[in-house]
A and B are shown apart, each in its own frame.
Chain A
Amino acid sequence: MAKHQFCTFVLDGYFFGVAVRQVQEVIRYLEMTRVPLASPVVRGLINLRGQIVTAIDLRRRLDLRDRPADRLPMNVVIRTEEGPISLLVDEIGDVLEVDQEAFERPPETLGGVARELIRGAYKLKDRLLLILDTEKAVQLPAAA
């Protein structure tokens, strides 16, 4: 039976996952340098051990509410063809191994950005693990 490993995180109460092999590392909050004129989705640039990495606010990318100002986001750094990109999330969860069987595609009622970025959900015992399409997530929203 096919098993998949996901690195999980919380975003505005939702439980998300990205495939473990796409994740380079997970780190606590790092100071960011904002980039004027950039899309609001881009929160800034972080210094990842000498490498400059663009940080994308996943909340904004998914059209969720902004994080309360007193809560510092964490970085989930994922590998892309153009080098690492950091996804800013609320909290980091465990690495979970789930059965392929528990997967289901998103319902038709899911619309908007979420439909584009959420590949589907794994039905866990107590909640749903939403799988993020990282390739699309690291692109700027079409409108921007």
Chain B
Amino acid sequence: MANVRLRDIRKSFGTVEVIKGVDLDVADRQLAVVVGPSGCGKSTLLRLIAGLEEITSGDLWIDGERMNDVPPAKRRLAMVFQSYALYPHMSVAENLGFSLKLARVPKETRREKVKEAARILQIEPLLGRKPKELSGGERQRVAIGRAIVRNPRVFLFDEPLSNLDAALRVQMRLEVMRLHDELKATMLYVTHDQVEAMTMADVIIVLNAGTIEQVGTPLDVYHHPRNLFVAGFIGSPRMNFMPATVTSVGEATARLSLPGGAALDVPADPQRLRAGDALSLGARPEHLALSEGGALRGEALVIERLGNVTFVHVSLEDGPMLTVQAASDEPVRVHDRVSVRLGGEDAHLFDGAGLAMPRVPQDHKET
């Protein structure tokens, strides 16, 4: 049983507050990913949980025990650092076994545990080597192995894959997920890469400038972003945004005026909108299509052909650039004039403050 609970956690460095009141619940055996842009405080949050930084105010509980004043080694956590932080003068086996040696575990037991961890990560042939003789991926595994050996309640990962090249990153991602499945452990994983977050997480926590923007499952966060930030951060290529004005409000729909004068009907809660309201409209590339008679018109400036899919970047006549997803054999060429169709049911509406507007009237609440 290893759940983690944070209540109103705040952290200041001098007069600068970097974590501004975070509430979080990570259930036992979940792989929770904290994702956010550089400088949002995600590493700091992890270090607060690990005990490497002091919590300014708020409470941290692990398995029901308050951990604010417990030193790192006694919290029964293990951390995998971004730079791996292996002990350069010790062999891989010694690196793995160091924590056990400190805990005065007898040599036989130590050796067994080290071998077990090495087996899980397939690094047995490396046991005699020193860190400087290993590749990046191998060092990463040793760092993870060091964590496994400690048999912690919670694993903490601080951007462990950012120092690896792209191909290795994909491979290691799968490794971590496999590990999570095999060890059935609670894992708290920090990254700035939203692809990692989407593919790995049981639950995603989107952090921005020290506050939590949204918590949810990946698909939840993807399909129902709570605000402009989450909508723009999650999903690659990025969601398209354009200004829209409400021209009229119906029973369960509203008519919007888009750049270029086009009109669009979207499902909306009539109690929340009035004619004349200025909103932001968000539409993901896969919900836009190049088609004759589409409401938005412009010129195809850049075309990205990935092989399985094509992304067409359209510069609207009077409006922003849109990224439209198209089929892999889409025949459009650069500088072609195109028109883009958008379905109202797929659009996301955000009010003046950047908050998402619910798409159906209040009595059909969705989470």
Chains A and B bind each other: no
**Which residue numbers of B lie inside 8 Å of A, CB to CB?**
none
